[in-house]
Each structure stands twice: as C-alpha cells, then as structure tokens.
Structure 1
Amino acid sequence: MRALLLSIALLTTSAPAFAQDAVVDTHVHLHKGEASLAEYRAQLKAAGQSVDAFGAMWFGGPNQALAGNPADIASRNDALIALAAKNPDMIAIATVHPYDGDAALAEVDRVAAGGVRLLKIHPHTQKFDAADPRVLTLVKHAGDRGMIVVMDNASIVPSDNEKLFNLALSAPKTKFIFGHMGGLGFRFWNILALARTAENLFADNIYFDISASVILAADSPIEEEYVWTIRNVGVDHVLIASDFPQISLPKTLEAFAKLDLTDAERAKIRSGNARKLLGL
C-alpha cells in the first residue's frame, strides 16, 4: 500500500513539471523550405529542446509575398502545405496579399478548404497599410472561413498598434495573433484592460505572441511593466514564439524563464493557450 501511495504521489508531483515542459512555437519562418526545417530541428536538438507543435510560414526575410503575383503566392502556399503533410507537428501558415483583391479572397477560400487554419500578413514586409479597406475585407473574409489572422506587430511601421487595434475592433468575428506584442511599444496594449469594460466595443479577439520582445524585456528595466502588460492583455491570450531563424526557440525560452510569472501562467503561455486556440 505504501508503495502504491508513493507512486501516486510521484505521478501527482510530476504532472505540473510535464505541463511546464510542453512547448508550442507559433512563429517559425521556413525561408528555404525543407532545408530551413532541418535547421530548426537541428537547433532544437543541439539545445536539448523539443516542441509539441510549431506554426510555420514560407515568407518573410528574403521571400517577400508582394502584390501582383497571386499565382506565385498560391504555389508557395502549396509547397508549405505539402511540407506540413509530411511533418505532423508542423502547422502550415499560409499567406496572401490584401491588395490582390478577389484573387486573395479566392486563395483564402482555397487554403481554408484544405484545412489551413492560420493566415499571416505583414504590413512592413508586404508593404501595405493595415488601415486600408482592402485589409479589413480580407481579414473579415478569413474569419468567416474559420481562419485566424496572424499579423506583425513589432511597431516598426507608423501607428502600428493603433491600426491593428482598430482593425480588430472592426472585425470582431475574426481572431488575430499579433506578433511581438507591440515590440518596445508594448505598453499601448494595456488599453485592452479598459476596452473590456466598454459595452459592445471589444470582442476579446486579440492574441499576442511574445517573440523578440520577451528577449528585450527579460533582465531589463522594463521587465516588470512587460509582465504587467501580459497580465493586462490576459495571460490566456499570450503565446510563446521564436521568430526562427532570426531568433532561436531556446534563446526565447531562456528569456521567458526569467519573467516573474507563476507556473500556471508559464504553462499556459508555453503551450496551453496555443492548444486551445488552434484546437490541438
């Protein structure tokens, strides 16, 4: 009996640790397709780190998905989707360009019908204005198709936070993941604590990944404010992410571990929130 009780106790105490170890990385760039994927896995292996799942996109950096060539974008989406089919832990993130109009909407229909749940668009890299009406049309359409829209939010374009906030307010049926949580402009997002108090204003449809910004915040004079912001936007709406290859997941997790968060908060941000949002 004592041995049985000891076994139960060990299992009970190990459960939180297992939850702490789980990781879903929601922001990976595979600029060179399968070669980049091999590099990502090698980097994790060298650090003794594993991932339960990771969201990957093909564009960004040297691969710009610019307007005017929707056929090329569709072809590259197909290559990424095929790679994900061979890697069960990989979640394909497709893209389109908002200024491609009907062609972009048709591509959203096509990839959504094929089971793709995430759509990434990037105002800086793709050279579009987040306040353009064509962007609102696109994100509403993606939301109607059950897709989550991922957008860069590093505050490297004018009025980045303000434009994304108003975009999310105007598309309440679409869920968004804003990458980098505003970069060094993260303080803006504390407005969500007030937005939730305004009747019929905010649909609580904004999530954040903390790639890059967490590295700047950890062990810095702004760390307490950064953690305060995580709690104000809602711990349930925050996701861990690396932004590979620019930043590694091990380096991101090392910085994340320095933040003054509870074990329960850490577990949600590392994997629990992504699992719930993406239905993993």
Structure 2
Amino acid sequence: MKIATCLAAALLFLPAAATAQPVFDTHVHLWDGEKSLGEYQAQVKAAGLSTSGLGVMWFGGPNQAREGNPADIAARNDALIALAAKHKGVVPIATVHPYDGQAALDELARVAGRGVRMLKIHPHTQRFDPADPRVLTLVKRAGELGLIVVMDNANIVPGGDSEKLFNLALAAPKTKFVFAHMGGLNFRFWNILKMARTAEGLFGDNIYFDISAMVTLAADAPIEEEFIWTMRNVGIDHVLLASDYPQFSLKQTLEAFERLDLTAEEKAKIRSSNARALLAP
C-alpha cells in the first residue's frame, strides 16, 4: 500500500507528456534521411516518450521540391520510401510539384504503386497558387490513387490561404486533405466547417488538420478557449497531433497538448487513433 501511494505521488510530479500514451506524429521533416531519423528517435527516447507511428517527409527549409526538376524529386521520394521500409511505423510522405504537369501526375502514380499513402505539397515554399487549375488536377488524381494530400496552412502568405484551400477541398470531394497547422493564427476561419456540413451536397467532409506548431502557441494563451472551440467545430475525429520536427520537438508539442482543456477521450483520439483511422486501408 505504501509503495503504491509513493508511486502515485511520484507520477503527479512527472510532466504530463511523460505519462502520455504513444503518439502518432504525422509531421516529421527528415532533412538528412537516416541521420535525421536517428536524431528524432534519440530526442523522443531522451524525453521518455514513444511513438506508435510517424509520417516523414524529406523537404522543408532549404530542401524544397521546386518546379522543373521532377527527376530529383523522384530520387528523393525513392530514398524516403526505402528509409521507411527499414523502420517499423514510419509512413513515407512523398511530394511532387503541381506545375510539373504530366511528370507530376506520373510520379503520383509511381509512388502510389510503391505503397505511398500520403503526398505533401506546400504552396508557400514551393511557390505555387492553390487556386491554379493544375493544383486541382493534381489533388483530384491523388484522390483517385488513394493518396491523402497534406498541405501547409500556416497562413503566412499575403491574404492567407485558408479560403483557397477550403475551395480546393470542395472542388475535390473524393480527395482527403490534411491542412497542417490548422490555419495558423487565422484558425478561426475553419469554424466554417460546422456550417458547411449543414449545406446539402456542398462539403465532402474530406478535411483533416494537424495542429503542429499552433498547439505550442495556443496552450495557456488567451486564444486557447477559441482554439479548442475550433477543434471541436471541425470535429475532434478530424484533428491529428504532429510536431513539425525539427522546428518543434515532440516533447514541446506533447507538453503543450496535455495542457489543453480537452477530455481524456478527445486527447486519445488526437494523439494516435485519428491518424490510424485516416491511414487505414
């Protein structure tokens, strides 16, 4: 009895993230392949955490998938697929550039044929307009091939990008999207989904969000209540936990997430089960 009491007391003083269940981190940048993955895993282990899966992508920061070099993009996609094949629980997230036209569509089909389930495209760093018809062609084809399309939604472009992404998802209802960062500081826009669901034939309920980066800003902030309100309005089942490593660590992310005033059931879904359901065959 004494031992159990002491153990319970000790657990009260552990950081919330340290006692959390394994998380599915859906947004991990591996800028240097195997080396980056090893650094991520060491950081997670040192923090006393564990992952049940992680979605990895190669580009970000200085490593952009730019228009006009599809051969280089294909080679990097292959390297990521090979890396994921060596590590249990690692989900490769391929990329293309929408302005590469048929070459991009061919690469989509090729990576889908190799078992890839997710595609990441980034309007800001890849320098394309989400409203460009070539983007709609690409994401529709991705949906046909069973690929989930991850797109940056930090609203760091002039005028923001949420409206364009919303209309893109409306125009491609058979494609599932994950909008990263849930709109950044313009996250309030996404409460529109609660109304969109009431309009017959308008919305395919095909939008998901990861809360990487934003969760570290919202926790304990004046915006926290509205942030949680938005998560519930877009649908807790459509929210994924993600770190955006290396910009943010999984430890930082989980510590902030655990401070949000969500129920235990909501937290369990966001930590892992939503990602697993989304990626289920």
Write the mapping of 1:13-52 to structure 2, written as runs, cut at 5 A. Answer: 21-52=21-52
How far the C-alpha of 1:88 sits from its partner, in A, is 1.4
User: 1:20, 1:255 → 2: CA distance?
Assistant: 12
Structure 2 counterpart of 1:274, one-letter code: A
- Contact 1:20 1:266 (8 Å CA) reproduced: no
Q: Secondary structure at the match of 2:150?
A: strand
- Contact 1:22 1:267 (8 Å CA) reproduced: no
User: 2:274, 2:224 → 1: CA distance?
Assistant: 22
How far the C-alpha of 1:224 sits from its partner, in A, is 0.2
Tell me which residue corresponds to 1:66. 66
- Contact 1:20 1:267 (8 Å CA) reproduced: no
Q: Secondary structure at the match of 1:52?
A: strand
Structure 1 counterpart of 2:104, one-letter code: A
Unaligned runs of at least 5 residues, structure 2: 1-18
Structure 2 counterpart of 1:269, one-letter code: I
Are 1:232 and 2:233 counterparts? yes
Are 1:170 and 2:171 counterparts? yes
Structure 1 counterpart of 2:222, one-letter code: P
User: 1:131, 1:177 → 2: CA distance?
Assistant: 17
User: 1:37, 1:22 → 2: CA distance?
Assistant: 17
User: 1:89, 1:175 → 2: CA distance?
Assistant: 21
Write the mapping of 1:143-154 to structure 2, written as runs, cut at 5 A. Answer: 143-154=143-154
Tell me which residue corresponds to 1:156. 156
Q: After superposition, give the CA deviation of every residue in 1:232-275 in whole Å (9 maximum; x if it has no partner).
A: 00000000000000000110000000111000000000001001
Q: After superposition, give the CA deviation of every residue in 1:79-114 in whole Å (9 maximum; x if it has no partner).
A: 000000100111000000000000000000000011
User: 2:23, 2:215 → 1: CA distance?
Assistant: 16
RMSD (Å) for aligned C-alpha atoms: 1.0
User: 2:88, 2:129 → 1: CA distance?
Assistant: 35
Q: After superposition, give the CA deviation of every residue in 1:165-221 in whole Å (9 maximum; x if it has no partner).
A: 000000000000000000100000000000000010000000000000011100000
User: 1:30, 1:106 → 2: CA distance?
Assistant: 24
How far the C-alpha of 1:279 sits from its partner, in A, is 1.3
Tell me which residue corresponds to 2:16. none
Q: Report sequence identity in percent.
A: 73
Q: Secondary structure at the match of 1:142?
A: helix
Tell me which residue corresponds to 1:197. 198
Q: After superposition, give the CA deviation of every residue in 1:13-69 in whole Å (9 maximum; x if it has no partner).
A: xxxxxx960310000000011110011001101101110100000011110100000
- Contact 2:109 2:145 (8 Å CA) reproduced: yes
Tell me which residue corresponds to 1:11. none
Tell me which residue corresponds to 1:206. 207
Q: After superposition, give the CA deviation of every residue in 1:113-141 in whole Å (9 maximum; x if it has no partner).
A: 11000000000110100110000000000
User: 2:41, 2:160 → 1: CA distance?
Assistant: 36
Tell me which residue corresponds to 1:90. 90
Tell me which residue corresponds to 2:224. 223
Q: Secondary structure at the match of 1:159?
A: coil
Q: Secondary structure at the match of 2:259?
A: coil
Q: Moved runs in structure 1, 4+ residues, more than 6 A?
A: none
Structure 2 counterpart of 1:258, one-letter code: R
- Contact 1:209 1:241 (8 Å CA) reproduced: yes
Tell me which residue corresponds to 2:7. none
Which shows bigger deviation, 153-162 or 217-226?
Answer: 153-162
